[in-house]
Amino acid sequence: MHVVIMGCGRVGAGLALALERIGHDVAVIDQNPQAFRRLGAEFHGQQVRGSGFDRQVLVEAGVERAEAFAAVSNGDNSNIISARVARETFGVAHVVARIYDPKRAAVYERLGIPTVATVPWTTDRFLRMLLPDGVASAWRDPSGTVAVLQLPLHEGWAGRTVGELEEHSGARIAFIVRFGNGILPDHNTVVQADDQVYAAAVSGTVTDVTTAVSTAPPHE
């Protein structure tokens, strides 16, 4: 398929080369002609100089026949504008924009523009490498608003219900892995010893949630 990439920084160049290696036709847009040096001599796709939200530049890059468009420049505004033009004006089926500001990413997700919120995803990646298993999130939505994490449960939670756990932690129990099988619990499901319990929590509350469940539950 034909893919248009706006931005020839390290991410854009790496994405372009990776796509070309697996057989896709790629066009890269950047305002700085020196940026195309990152592509190297092995790149055989189009190199189009100009703004990624300029319609004529997009047409030159083949956006009218593109099946995918990625906006990965260093500017949030440029990325989202070009992504919206690609989606709304040219009807490109698969569009994604890199956004540094997680609040903006959440807004654009609601507008139907898939985003990669670079800062939350990078932060979460470091956390998963730095912290013990069960402390950092196992998954985070692209806007960085909601995280799913394995709870580091204190042994005292065995025998207590999911409802009690949710009320105490402030998180929503998403699923439990029990003896290697995933189950969807309800409010009355009883936590068993050796359960792996995964919860959904709003970003910014993960530390509070893990702290709450890593200690013994309150007495009834």
For the chain (220 residues), the mean pLDDT of every run of 10, in chain order, is: 95 93 95 94 94 94 96 90 92 90 71 71 62 56 74 92 94 92 94 93 82 85
Q: What is the pLDDT of residue 144?
A: 63
CA distance 201 to 207: 10
Q: Which CATH number fits domain 133-213: 3.20.20.70, 3.30.70.1230, 3.10.450.40, 3.30.70.1450?
A: 3.30.70.1450
Q: Do domains 2-99 and 133-213 have the same CATH topology?
A: no
CATH dotted code for 2-99: 3.40.50.720
**pTM for this one?**
0.61
Give the integer Cα–Cα distance in Å for 203 and 196: 21
pLDDT of the residue at 100: 81
Domain ranges of the chain: 2-99, 133-213
Closest CA to 195 of 158, 163, 149, 156: 158
Which pLDDT tens digit goes with each residue over 112-163?
777 777 666 666 666 556 655 445 556 766 666 788 888 989 999 999 999 9
